[in-house]
Structure 1
Amino acid sequence: MTSLLLDRRDRTSTGRAQRPLVLIATLGGAAAALAPLLVCVAVGVIGWFAADAGAHGAPRDGMRMGAVAWLMAHGSGITVRGVAVGAVPLGLTVICAWSIWRLGHRVGDALSGHGPDADRISDGERDLTVPLATGLFFIGYALVAVVTATLTASVETTLSVPHVILWSVAMTLAFAGPGIAIGSGRAAIWATFVPAVIRQGAATAIAILTAFLALSAVVFLVSLAFGIGEAATMMSQLHLSAGEGIVYAIANGGFLPNASLFSGSFLLGPGFAVGGNTLVSPGAVVLGPLPLFALLAALPTIGTPGAVVSSLVWLPPLVAALATMWWQRRHPALTWLEAALRGCGGGIVAGLAFAVLASVAGGAVGPGRMRFVGPFVPEVLVAAITAFGLGGLLGALVMAWYHRRSTPEES
């Protein structure tokens, strides 16, 4: 931020040359893609050797599987001999997103001296540093993705390159763009032009969404703990060696965020499907034959859940209210209207965000009925907006009342 406040003439006088924007941003995007890709390739080789000590295939097979996993984390899906698998391992996607964010922030810091300074931006001068750097970052990232997809495809398997590019665009806009804006200091300047109620509403939405995602993960882990015996039975039925068991555990771990989003959809009420004509919700559980995947051991018993499980639908609005109260206790609203707008608006935005995440949590995982796996997104959207909006509104009003009661002279 300090570097942004320096005028270009000041930089010239200090003898510090600006770094080339095109080179820094493009290489940053390529590095953000290569870092997790190389890790996936290394894990693939280790997994290939651990499975059978290298008795079958070659190291390039392990490298290829690591690259396929990286591409699937970008929505590529994979079709093997006509069978489509479209589920995205969001655990790996989270790692890729973190890499994009970190490299984007570093690119922004390196480019903080480009463009007009803070005073000139405040005066309305156009500044294209962040949009240009974000576009170049995407070019570097997409180039690595396209080359990887081209080298990975084979006669027996196909990958969707357009989906990879689309996901790369979305992840660049969602993580690289903000990272560059924050690292370059532009975000701090732009924030001054945004009304305070909008900034606080966005912060409330982040607090609600974070709290609910944490709750969903905890509920899933508790359910998995109760089904740990069934998970062990699944692994024993597969007759895995020690090395294969490690690879199997890593594969399950890649879908932990997906399972947490399934859990959140369950808590909201609509639930999710694990195959065609199935339903997993607080009101009813209808299942069919399931694959031997350890995370499925967390599924509830077939039938009508008990009162304790059914009452879990009250947790989403409660968590939204508590998260809103926690945030507004630290940042009190000045008026009742502002408090209501923060809480209700933030809850609605959090509901929209959760529905977007739920929409990418599912996908085909096999042929036949297993093509239909995932949350019921339209119903989840309505339930999330309602639960988070009402919970946020209630929490905001309660905290506004508390502040006015504790400081009557300022009300």
Structure 2
Amino acid sequence: MTSLLSARGEAATLDLRHRRPLLLIGLLGGVLAAATTLVACLGVGVVGWYLADDGVHGVPRDGLRAAGLVWLMAHGSGVHVGGVAISAVPLLLTLTCAWTCWRAGQRVGDSVSGHGPDADRIADGERDWTVPSATLLFTVGYCSVVLATARLAGSAETAPSGARALAWSLVLGLAIGGPAIAARSGRLAIWATFVPETARATLATAARILVTFLGVALASWLVALALDGASAANVLSQLHLDPADTGMYLLVSALLIPNATVFAGSYLLGPGFAVGAGTLVSPTAVVLGPLPLFPLLAALPDAGPPPAWTPYLMLAPVLVAAFAAGRAQRRRPTLRWDQAAVRGGVGGMIAALGFALLAVLSGGSVGPGRMRTVGPETIAVLGHALPAFALGGLVGALVATWWQRRRQRPAAPAGGTLPEAPTET
């Protein structure tokens, strides 16, 4: 009897949690999603202020303001330092904000799963505004925190762009929080049944190609940095930082690791990237000028004609796309050549568009003068990524289909012929 009462109590509590007002759930979820990363940045800012000369210079609110500005920069706001515009985005912090949006969106989705019509009524065509309403409220809550932070942390000297931060917040709320709400509420599974399997498999192939290529780019960049680690250590020694300042400096450098990964990917694709106006770092040419003292730049190759083997690195994107498409084909097998071609070729094109978008976000202005131009050229990156990923994806998907058809086809009987391979319906 006690266990029965306990089970009923838990069910009632669960149902009550799923019946909270939609307005409260959506707004509070968005506010918490933004506040989570903001509070973490503020904590790091206060610690950094205290570690800098034991907090002798300035007051704690200076550390809070600096942390708020960095958080806004992760939302594309940019900032002015000494009259110089800094527009580069610390992508690691941006990815952290996106992950927090996803997790908060999942909690909101779980809370609104009991709202609106059930699956049968949705399947019968009844309109369901639960997820769109929750997503809109979630986005409004997130944007309110961003605008409040821009108002409190910004000043006439720093001048962060509230409009750009608001635009990035809309993307995070609608494109990250919305799908998370739909997935956890159960609506996404219902809607996915109306999407053709080929479209879903194509998107899965594109995601696999993009993620695999970014992993290879990160590994290549880490290897280059490790091979010239002495230069990175020499840069740190020239800055004459104490242990506390060194730790904060390395933490700030870590925020740019995804940016460096995209730079490395642009290098492997061929067009390379710029580290200042009039410079180029690519497999076929390396033209450098005076560089700032920054440890991550130790991974750059030496200026001058590159070795004869470096142009062959441009084969890496094609091979990576072929491998990733073949792996995706194993997860979602098909025995039809046309479907395999669409999955691999179109999936590679979508992956190229995704990487070009990352190339846009990774660069920007990082200082005065020639350092206003840092990062890959988006059009050139897209022009190289489209054929490389599409060709590799097409070849990988077709090879995987050939192998799967070969394994599926039974042995021919004596004096007979092989039966036709089954096709998907």
Instruction: Report the equivalent of 2:48.
Output: 47
Superposition pairs of residues 64-213 of structure 1, within 5 angstroms: 64-213=65-214
- Cα drift, residue 116 of structure 1: 1.3
Separation of aligned partners in 2, 1:34 and 1:299: 37
Aligned AA for 1:216? A
Instruction: Report the equivalent of 2:307.
Output: 306
Separation of aligned partners in 2, 1:323 and 1:304: 32
Q: Deviations over 1:276-297 (max 9, x none)?
A: 0111111101011111111111
1:24 aligns with 2:7: no
Separation of aligned partners in 2, 1:91 and 1:227: 23
Q: Deviations over 1:41-90 (max 9, x none)?
A: 00011111112111111111111111111000000100123210000000
Instruction: Report the equivalent of 1:4.
Output: none
- Cα drift, residue 396 of structure 1: 0.5
Instruction: Report the equivalent of 1:326.
Output: 327
Q: Deviations over 1:286-313 (max 9, x none)?
A: 0111111111111111112213322111
Instruction: Report the equivalent of 1:264.
Output: 265
State the TM-score, normalized to the length of structure 1. 0.95
Given that residues 15 and 114 in structure 2 are in contact (C-alpha distance below 8 angstroms), is that contact kept between their aligned partners in structure 1?
no
- Aligned to 1:84, what secondary structure does the other structure show? strand
Given that residues 138 and 172 in structure 1 are in contact (C-alpha distance below 8 angstroms), is that contact kept between their aligned partners in structure 2?
yes
Separation of aligned partners in 2, 1:118 and 1:308: 58
- Cα drift, residue 334 of structure 1: 3.0
Given that residues 325 and 397 in structure 2 are in contact (C-alpha distance below 8 angstroms), is that contact kept between their aligned partners in structure 1?
yes
Instruction: Report the equivalent of 1:385.
Output: 386
Instruction: Report the equivalent of 2:364.
Output: 363
1:289 aligns with 2:290: yes
Separation of aligned partners in 1, 2:123 and 2:303: 61
- Aligned to 1:360, what secondary structure does the other structure show? helix
Aligned CA RMSD, in angstroms, stands at 1.4
- Cα drift, residue 15 of structure 1: 7.1
Instruction: Report the equivalent of 2:222.
Output: 221
Aligned AA for 2:201? Q
Aligned AA for 1:243? A
Aligned AA for 1:146? L
Given that residues 153 and 159 in structure 1 are in contact (C-alpha distance below 8 angstroms), is that contact kept between their aligned partners in structure 2?
yes
Given that residues 201 and 343 in structure 1 are in contact (C-alpha distance below 8 angstroms), is that contact kept between their aligned partners in structure 2?
yes
Aligned AA for 1:92? L
State the TM-score, normalized to the length of structure 2. 0.92
- Aligned to 1:157, what secondary structure does the other structure show? coil
Aligned AA for 2:365? A
Separation of aligned partners in 1, 2:75 and 2:156: 21
Identical-pair percentage: 55
Radius of gyration: which is bigger? Answer: 2
- Aligned to 1:156, what secondary structure does the other structure show? coil
Poorly superposed stretches of 4+, deviation over 3 Å: 14-17
- Aligned to 1:393, what secondary structure does the other structure show? helix
- Cα drift, residue 174 of structure 1: 2.2
Aligned AA for 2:143? A
Q: Deviations over 1:264-287 (max 9, x none)?
A: 011001111111011111110101
- Cα drift, residue 400 of structure 1: 0.6
Q: Residues 197, 15 of structure 1: CA spacing in aligned structure 2 closer, same or farther, 3 A cutoff?
A: closer
1:240 aligns with 2:241: yes
Q: Deviations over 1:320-370 (max 9, x none)?
A: 100111121232113110111111111111110110011100000011111
Aligned AA for 2:32? A
Report how many aligned residue pairs link the two structures: 400
Given that residues 353 and 382 in structure 2 are in contact (C-alpha distance below 8 angstroms), is that contact kept between their aligned partners in structure 1?
yes
**In terms of mean alpha carbon deviation, does 212-221 or 53-62 score higher?**
53-62
Aligned AA for 2:20? R
Given that residues 274 and 376 in structure 2 are in contact (C-alpha distance below 8 angstroms), is that contact kept between their aligned partners in structure 1?
yes
Separation of aligned partners in 1, 2:278 and 2:113: 54
Separation of aligned partners in 2, 1:309 and 1:225: 18
Aligned AA for 1:398? V
Given that residues 80 and 158 in structure 1 are in contact (C-alpha distance below 8 angstroms), is that contact kept between their aligned partners in structure 2?
no
Given that residues 83 and 366 in structure 1 are in contact (C-alpha distance below 8 angstroms), is that contact kept between their aligned partners in structure 2?
yes
Given that residues 352 and 389 in structure 2 are in contact (C-alpha distance below 8 angstroms), is that contact kept between their aligned partners in structure 1?
yes
Aligned AA for 2:270? G
Given that residues 25 and 107 in structure 1 are in contact (C-alpha distance below 8 angstroms), is that contact kept between their aligned partners in structure 2?
yes
Aligned AA for 1:174? A
Given that residues 78 and 159 in structure 1 are in contact (C-alpha distance below 8 angstroms), is that contact kept between their aligned partners in structure 2?
yes
